Amino acid sequence: PDVVAVLDTGFDHVDLQVNPLYLRGRYRKLSRGVPQTRWPCRRCRGKGCARCGGTGKMYPTSVEEVIAAEVMRESGGTGHALHGMGREDVDARMLGRGRPFIVEIKEPRKRRIDLNAAVRRMNTSGIVEVDQLTPATGADVVALKEDRAAKTYRVLLRTVPPVDEAKLKGTLPVLVGEPIAQRTPGRVVHRRADTIRARRLLSAEVVGVEGDRAELRVTAEAGTYIKEWVHGDGGRTRPSLAERLGAACEVLELDVLDVHDGG
Ligand SMILES: [Zn+2]
């Protein structure tokens, strides 16, 4: 049910529980520098300060805010959340077919809304594109979060000293399928437990090499830290591409090209 009336006969009143509105789709994120979900300012925790220019946020907008704003324009509501099948880094684009998500609107005033109109407006943002919105449930959120979909990435990297194409092409196949031990990256260990996870690459190929730049296409198991696999994270990820090449590797650009969900 959308709304549940709870009668408390002892106190002579009725509480209305308005269930959230859930809508699912796939999003593409066309800009770098946009987080998936609203990111409160680290210093003021949302109240507004000099660091965040009074916005209370680390970034002006997010995938969540673009999507939720257009749904709530139709549905009303008191709050929102975005549940993604994993998340890309703030500076990574999400391309290809997009990433499955479910947007949750709390206490909507209206449920029968013009979904196509909402999608059309999202897609004029220049930041986020959504394929379509269809009704979902709270149970769908659980299934979405449990999906262990492999991801395919485009990686643009710089090698120091420059590594030639032949060496890259000889090294990548050796790394595919080899167990990777990834200690929680230095960049996230302040907010996550410091553990070691085992992951694997499913495929890796060289797209092109120009001077000290190389472009790769890499498919990895869910939860693989790709940047760390490239540069090694000071030895926290082993083996890494940098370690095997004997060269420092810097990730210049990272894009998610596909999320292989549903199988
Ligand atoms: Zn602030």
Which of the listed residues 116, 146, 176 is the one where a domain comes to its end?
A: 146
Ligand 1 centroid distance, CA of 58 (Å)? 7
* d(C-alpha 216, C-alpha 129), whole Å: 25
pLDDT of residue 231: 97
pLDDT of residue 13: 73
Ligand 1 centroid distance, CA of 40 (Å)? 8
- In this structure, the answer to whether residues 142 and 22 fall within a common structural domain is yes
- In this structure, the answer to whether residues 128 and 160 fall within a common structural domain is no
Say yes or no to pLDDT of 262 above 90. Answer: no
Proportion of the chain above pLDDT 90, given as a percent: 89
* d(C-alpha 87, C-alpha 80), whole Å: 17
Q: Residue 11: which residues within 8 A CB-CB, separation 6 or more?
A: none
Residue 89 bears catalytic tag: yes
- In this structure, the answer to whether residues 91 and 167 fall within a common structural domain is no
Q: How many domains does the chain have?
A: 2
Confidence of residue 28 (pLDDT cuts 50, 70, 90): very high
CATH number where 240 lies: 3.30.70.3190
- In this structure, the answer to whether residues 136 and 231 fall within a common structural domain is no
Asked if residue 20 lies in contact with residue 104, where contact means CB atoms within 8 angstroms, the answer is yes
Ligand 1 centroid distance, CA of 47 (Å)? 6
- Do you find a cis peptide bond into 179, omega within 30 degrees of 0? no
Mean pLDDT, rounded, for 194-211 = 96
Choosing from 8, 12, 89, 212, the catalytic residue is 89
Task: With CA atoms as reference, report the closest residue to 254 among 168, 172, 156, 186.
Answer: 156
- In this structure, the answer to whether residues 201 and 188 fall within a common structural domain is yes
- In this structure, the answer to whether residues 54 and 136 fall within a common structural domain is yes
- In this structure, the answer to whether residues 29 and 134 fall within a common structural domain is yes
- In this structure, the answer to whether residues 142 and 130 fall within a common structural domain is yes
Range of the domain at 164: 150-260
- In this structure, the answer to whether residues 180 and 216 fall within a common structural domain is yes
- In this structure, the answer to whether residues 229 and 203 fall within a common structural domain is yes
Ligand 1 centroid distance, CA of 80 (Å)? 21
pLDDT of residue 4: 76
CATH number where 113 lies: 3.30.70.2510
Per-residue pLDDT reduced to its tens digit, 103-152 = 999 999 999 999 999 999 999 999 999 999 999 999 999 999 998 999 99
Q: What does pLDDT average to over the chain?
A: 94
- In this structure, the answer to whether residues 142 and 182 fall within a common structural domain is no
Per-residue pLDDT reduced to its tens digit, 53-71 = 999 999 999 999 999 999 9
Which of the listed residues 114, 130, 146 is the one where a domain comes to its end?
A: 146
- In this structure, the answer to whether residues 162 and 101 fall within a common structural domain is no
Neighbour count for residue 166 (Cβ, 10 Å) = 10
Which of the listed residues 146, 170, 185 is the one where a domain comes to its end?
A: 146
* CA-only gyration radius of the chain, Å: 22
Asked if residue 215 lies in contact with residue 207, where contact means CB atoms within 8 angstroms, the answer is yes
ipTM, two decimals: 0.98
pLDDT of residue 3: 76
Mean pLDDT, rounded, for 14-37 = 93
Mean pLDDT, rounded, for 23-37 = 97
